[in-house]
Structure 1
Amino acid sequence: MSLLQEFCSVFAVPGFIIPYLHFFVTAEEMQLVIILSKEPSHTEAIAARMGKEAAETAALLAGAYQRCIIDKENNAGTDYYIAGSFYNRLKKFCQFGNYHVLPRRIRKELDAWDFDEYVKRNNYFRQVLAHDPEYENCHNEWILLLAEAEAMIDAASAIRVLPCDCKMLADNCDHSREICLVLDEKRLSDRTGGRELSKEEAKQLIRRLDQEGLMHTGGPANWRESGPQVVCNCCTCCCYPFRAGQKFGTKGRWPKSRYLAVYHAERCVQCGLCVRRCGFEAFIFAEEQGEKVASITNQVAFIRERCWGCGLCANACPAHAIELIPVEQA
């Protein structure tokens, strides 16, 4: 078996990316991954296997670790390195690498491949589809109103903003890319990347993203007791949780909706902002789309069954014709 073949097997590289593999790893890093696939090793042992000086090996390991090509674990004060995977390398590369040098056709294939891997690696959908929405350790647990996201920022122990890997991979819209906020210092590592924000800077950012038309998600559900962890700012066309939720029919349960919109047609001034901002087509121009909706008296129509309770419509309505109410009161 050649070096390339063995590396692709160990690193779980999708076949279509092999002609472009040089954008992701060097030949030396490929050799390193193969060595580490056998067993975890420390710097001196790896240097001996590769025939290199310890200092040169340490530099190679540090770079490969930062690029998410290898991982490490500490045992009794010594760092042991292990082989990574293409799945994790892709996340890092699309966030912080020169990802757009790849042809768009290949980037679309990578998005489809990564979305399939994402679904395989997370069991939230299976649990929700089995009517067990009280799952644990799930990201993007709640769809948040803007005020709730701001409250989570106020309670944060640290704030780091990162590019969204979903949006970088999918690239289906013109929305902002630097949209993921990590709010818990325990979730930050020496290779998280991104940039630090003050609480006021973070709130200014999510207000701008809200105006831009991005929804807010975050968790955990008990964040007031345990502390907030993340706030993401999502669209329906790129972000994996919403794409998966729509694909698998987990609307309302994951990401969890806790509010529903109420439309007061008598107040509506027909500006159409709600129609443009709703990613789920809960608000539509009924006449233009030929929808059969009962009791339509205005051009704007609201189809309640499509609402996910994100609040983007209410935030922009100049006539206050839309309000959000808790699901249990709907």
Structure 2
Amino acid sequence: MDHRSSRKIPMDRREFMATTAAAGFALMIPKFGPFKDNPESIEKYYSALADALNKLPNAFPRTESGIELVLLRKIFTEEEAWLAGQMTIQAEPVSGIAERVGLTVEETTKRLDKLSNKGAVWGRGGHFRLAPFVVGIYEAQVWSMDHEMAHLMEDYMDEGGAEFMRFQPAIHRVVPAQGSVKTDWILPYDDVKKVIMANKSFRVRDCICRVQQDLLEERKCDLPLKVCLNFTPFERPPSDRDITKEEALKMLDDTEKAGLVHCVTNIEEGFYYVCNCCGCCCGILRGITEFGIEKSVAAANYFSVIDPETCTGCGLCIKRCQMKAIKVDEGIAVVDKEKCIGCGLCVTSCAFEAVRMQLKPEEDIIHPPKNFGIWEQDRLKNRGLI
């Protein structure tokens, strides 16, 4: 079944999609700048960038319509696309990049800094590499996202962009709500509070998924926006997005009370963000709820069990479940283990203590890759790229 074809698209979005398709890439060509007289070269640069992004572990699927080129054109100038399209997964010194692309080191540094501000490259110690579209470039657009970009991203997902979530290992991993799992069962990489306690610098920003759904006027929830948390084990220069460690811990509590699912990078060590997600807005969780991609997120190694003797059938756990994995059968709540992602929200909300988290059998436990480098290698292998 094509899950995309079953989605109800509002009239204003259908009109936008039709207009975009009719206009084609030609209308996105700038009327000024060094490439103004060579539109074919411009399209070539955006296509090269799309291909470069698709060669990264995270993937950036190409579509028949080419909507992804219009999306990239919305984010990057032609000069930026030209340079970013020549970057790869390998971190290179600025001097090496400059020599390869035929620019001075000074000019290359200036352009790389601009690309870094747009989330297109990751830099460290004077070395730069291409950043993935998700998680990376797209999330960096949270401050520039507008109505047009929101539509373009949604259309891209509908036309095949969502397929990046089929590849394994998954990009995101669910960690259970605090206190939902017995202390002697909790796996070290699932203790998100412990991870936060070990870090020093904390910043928060709006959830781009809810921002996008707001702009589409398709948002189905009223859950909080400013819930995306990132942190580092070292101090950073001051930012107006800084919060204290205590505020970060409180955010975990508040998002759990609101019914949001904690998602982190799908690795054991070195993850530095926590997304707090809902099944209606989050692009990754929508992989399951909307696009029919069962493993778009790595489920936690636990599942919910409801005691039929204690359950009153009040239905609160059903309202709290972002994956619609619980239903009431003959007055008792029942969990669909195939849909349960182990977030633990049903456990922490049950006033009757009728729900508990059960550790999966040893043979069903899937440990995430040790670190990001191993994750990238595993994903490239599974995609047949190495």
Q: Into which bin does the TM-score normalised by the smaller protein fall?
A: 0.5 to 0.7
Deviation at 1:12, TM superposition (A): 0.9
1:38-87 CA-to-partner distances (Å, cap 9, x unmatched) read x97539957x946x8x766643332123213445565xxxx466666766
Correspondence 1:218-233 to 2 at 5 A: 218=264, 229-233=272-276
Q: Is 1:6 the counterpart of 2:44 in the alignment?
A: yes
User: What TM-score does the superposition give when structure 2 sets the normalisation length?
Assistant: 0.57
Query: What are the ranges of 5 or more consecutive residues in structure 1 without an aligned counterpart?
Result: 126-137, 287-292
> Given that residues 24 and 93 in structure 1 are in contact (C-alpha distance below 8 angstroms), is that contact kept between their aligned partners in structure 2?
no
User: What TM-score does the superposition give when structure 1 sets the normalisation length?
Assistant: 0.65
Deviation at 1:11, TM superposition (A): 0.5
Separation in 2, partners of 1:185, 1:17: 35
- In structure 2, the CA distance between the partners of 1:181 and 1:81, relative to structure 1 (3 Å rule), is closer
Deviation at 1:236, TM superposition (A): 2.5
Give the one of 278, 300, 314 matched to 1:256.
300
Structure exhibiting the larger radius of gyration computed from Cα positions:
1
Partner of 1:324: 356
Deviation at 1:272, TM superposition (A): 3.2
Deviation at 1:217, TM superposition (A): 3.6
- In structure 2, the CA distance between the partners of 1:324 and 1:151, relative to structure 1 (3 Å rule), is farther
Residue aligned with 2:299, SS: coil
Give the one of 119, 141, 156 matched to 2:166.
119
Separation in 2, partners of 1:189, 1:111: 34
Separation in 2, partners of 1:149, 1:189: 21
Partner of 1:42: 95
Q: Which has the higher helix share?
A: 1
Aligned residues: 286
Q: Is 1:216 the counterpart of 2:288 in the alignment?
A: no
Correspondence 1:1-330 to 2 at 5 A: 2-12=40-50, 15-19=66-70, 21-33=72-84, 42=95, 45=98, 49=102, 58-70=109-121, 72=123, 79=126, 90-94=137-141, 96-102=142-148, 104-112=150-158, 113-120=160-167, 123-124=168-169, 139-140=172-173, 142-147=174-179, 148-164=191-207, 167=210, 172-174=219-221, 175-185=223-233, 195-218=241-264, 229-244=272-287, 247-250=292-295, 254-264=298-308, 266=310, 268=312, 271-284=314-327, 286=328, 293=329, 296=330, 298=331, 301-305=333-337, 306-318=339-351, 320-327=352-359
**Residue identity matched to 1:12:** A
> Given that residues 241 and 255 in structure 1 are in contact (C-alpha distance below 8 angstroms), is that contact kept between their aligned partners in structure 2?
no
Report the identity percentage.
20
Separation in 1, partners of 2:285, 2:155: 19
Query: What are the ranges of 5 or more consecutive residues in structure 2 without an aligned counterpart?
Result: 1-37, 52-61, 180-190, 362-386
Separation in 2, partners of 1:16, 1:84: 20
Separation in 1, partners of 2:107, 2:251: 41
State the superposition RMSD in angstroms. 4.4
- In structure 2, the CA distance between the partners of 1:4 and 1:209, relative to structure 1 (3 Å rule), is same
